[in-house]
Structure 1
């Protein structure tokens, strides 16, 4: 079945710049339109029309970044007007095409789905050293000893620290998963530690050793610059939001940079982040589980939309697990990683949901 769905995805990708016809796809596949639509949603966890919408809008960001006229972009992707395209764009990214074009903000990628893979599989295209060299040419001041790099997770921290990729600067990992379990308005204090440890079913001592102590450079020292290295998926963005909120809580006065990247290709987009709104966003989203009242970077806006959707009992991941619970756990985990890359969950979070469905 996965190979069959991949054939549909390949056909859709070849016709993204044409007016979509489910009937044409059905004729190509040799099945009814209803069957194609049903099976696509069952295997991918997303409707075919939603997939096409997100792919087209994501691809259109490259056209906007190249300063193409918004009307031309709208017509190329089969919108009836510039206004219709702008409404659709803002509903997904949280900003208008014109705002995106003016400020070149990072967005969450929506890459072509890969459900069926050949024996060769996908090769990771990690080019950290090359990307870091490009950053160094643009901002040499971020490689000095008055800079702290905070990296999402222990593995990334060790890779950067061991190779001293950022020169004389300091490094710290953020070993958390803020996209699950309850949290508190205050960040990194006793109430926070107790609440987060209980949510993860860990002792306070273990949680402190794993999460808080590695953050000692952030908690105890002053830096002129802080660089936050986080992926664009929901998991990473909720961790990023927590750190930005903490910097406001601690009244940090230096400059903050966000280095956004995709997990499957280390292409870095660097954005300077002015502080001032993130603690209120943190409280609204992670504490109260409601939509934020501030305008955000598109990549964080998208992640928050997904985070709030994941709080529902019938969220897409739960539905997918329910429809595929007959599979062995290892196979189900593999499919969840492939189908929901923008969620960013690890084994622990998916296993918890699998147990919940069972």
Structure 2
């Protein structure tokens, strides 16, 4: 079945700038339009038209970055007007195309879905060392002793620290999953620790050893700069929001840099951040599960939209699990990773959803 859906995806990708025809796709696949739509949604978790919308908008950001005229971009991607394109763009990214063009900020990628790899296909795997060397050429001072790198998770921390990828600077991991379970404010105080430990079905002592103790340099040492290494997906962005909110709570006054990247392609997008509103956003989103009232980086705006969607009893992931509950759990888990890369859940989060939904 994955090969069948991949054929549909490939056909769509070759025609992203053309007017979409469901009948044309159905004729190519040799099935009815309804069957194609149903099987695509069942396999990918989204409709064909939603997939095309997100792919077109994502590809259009490259045109914006190259300073093409917005009207020309709108026409290229099949919009009836510049205004229609701008509305669609802002709905997905949280900023207008013109704002993105003026100040290019990181976005959450929506890459071509790959559900089936043919025998001759291959995937490029860009090494962390190569990309970090590019970062060093741009910001040599971030490799010095007065800099702290906060990395999203233990695996990344071990890799960076063992190889000393950021030179003489310090390294700490943030071993959390803020996209699930209750959160409190202030951050990292006793109530926070107790609440988060309970949510993870863990003891306070164990939680402190896993999450709080590894962060101790952040609490005990003054740094001139902090570099945050977090992916584009929702999981990473909610962790990022928590750290930024803590820095505001702590009244940190040094420089803060975000090195964002896509998990399957370690290509770093570095942005210097200005603190000031992240704590209020943290309270709105992670504590009260409400939409933020502050303009954010597009990548975080997109992640928050996904986070709030995932708080609903019925969401894209639970619908997908419900439609595929006949699939054995190991295979279903594999499919969830393939179909929902922008969510970023790990095994634990998906297994809990599978158990609850099945």
Q: Is the structural similarity TM-score above 0.5?
A: yes
- What is the CA RMSD across the aligned residues, in angstroms? 1.0
Q: What is the distance in 2 between the residues matched to 1:43 and 1:131?
A: 33
1:13 corresponds to which residue?
13
Gaps of 5+ in 1: none
Q: What is the distance in 2 between the residues matched to 1:197 and 1:126?
A: 36
Residues 228 and 257 of structure 1 are in contact (CA less than 8 Å); yes or no, is this contact kept in structure 2? yes
1:125 corresponds to which residue?
125
Indicate the SS of the match to 2:35.
helix
Runs of 4+ with >3 A deviation: 119-124
Shift of 1:122: 5.4
Q: What is the distance in 2 between the residues matched to 1:251 and 1:209?
A: 25
Q: What is the distance in 2 between the residues matched to 1:47 and 1:57?
A: 16
Between 111-120 and 4-13, report the one with greater CA deviation.
111-120
Residues 277 and 294 of structure 1 are in contact (CA less than 8 Å); yes or no, is this contact kept in structure 2? yes
2:51 corresponds to which residue?
51
Q: What is the distance in 2 between the residues matched to 1:265 and 1:350?
A: 22
Query: In the TM superposition, what whole-angstrom CA distance separates every residue of 1:136-189 from its partner, at most 9, and x where no partner exists?
Result: 111111010000000000010010001111111000000000000001011011
Residues 124 and 264 of structure 1 are in contact (CA less than 8 Å); yes or no, is this contact kept in structure 2? no
1:23 corresponds to which residue?
23
Residues 258 and 273 of structure 1 are in contact (CA less than 8 Å); yes or no, is this contact kept in structure 2? yes
1:280 corresponds to which residue?
280
Indicate the SS of the match to 1:292.
coil
2:135 corresponds to which residue?
135
1:241 corresponds to which residue?
241
Indicate the SS of the match to 1:268.
strand
Are 2:266 and 1:266 aligned? Answer: yes
Shift of 1:240: 0.2
Residues 5 and 40 of structure 1 are in contact (CA less than 8 Å); yes or no, is this contact kept in structure 2? yes
Structure 1 pair 120/330, CA: closer, same or farther in 2 (3 Å)?
farther
Q: What is the distance in 1 between the residues matched to 2:42 and 2:327?
A: 14
Shift of 1:297: 0.3
Q: Equivalences for 1:124-273 in 2 at 5 Å?
A: 125-273=125-273
Indicate the SS of the match to 1:165.
coil
Residues 241 and 278 of structure 1 are in contact (CA less than 8 Å); yes or no, is this contact kept in structure 2? yes
Shift of 1:123: 3.6
Matched length: 358
Shift of 1:114: 0.9
Q: What is the distance in 1 between the residues matched to 2:127 and 2:355?
A: 37
TM-score by length of 1: 0.99
Shift of 1:134: 1.1
